[in-house]
Amino acid sequence: MQTIQLTTQVGKDGILQVKMPENMSGQNLNVTLVFESISELNYPENAAPLKGTVISYDEPFESAIPLEDWDVLS
């Protein structure tokens, strides 16, 4: 397996074009995209319905099940 790394930009039309070396013609590729800053992407509002939701726990270290219900303790 050969690895080629390059940095490029997506065009204003959202199209990514990559010019490969001529000797790669007809080769199968495994393409991985790594975004430098994902926050700049425009997601629909409903893509992250829990974003900004505050969760608090009154007793975070207490057992979710009462101690008397644990069979292993008897």
pLDDT (tens place) for every residue of the chain, 74 residues total:
778 888 888 888 888 888 888 888 888 888 888 877 766 566 666 677 787 888 888 888 888 888 888 877 66
Q: What is the DSSP letter of 2?
A: -
Q: How many helices (H) and strands (E) does the chain have?
A: 0, 0
Structure tokens at 22: 């001529």
- Pair of tokens at residue 60: 């975070």
Question: Cα–Cα distance between 42 and 44 in angstroms, integer?
Answer: 7
Residue 71, pLDDT score: 78
Please check whether residue 18 is in contact with residue 6, taking contact to mean a CB–CB distance below 8 angstroms: yes
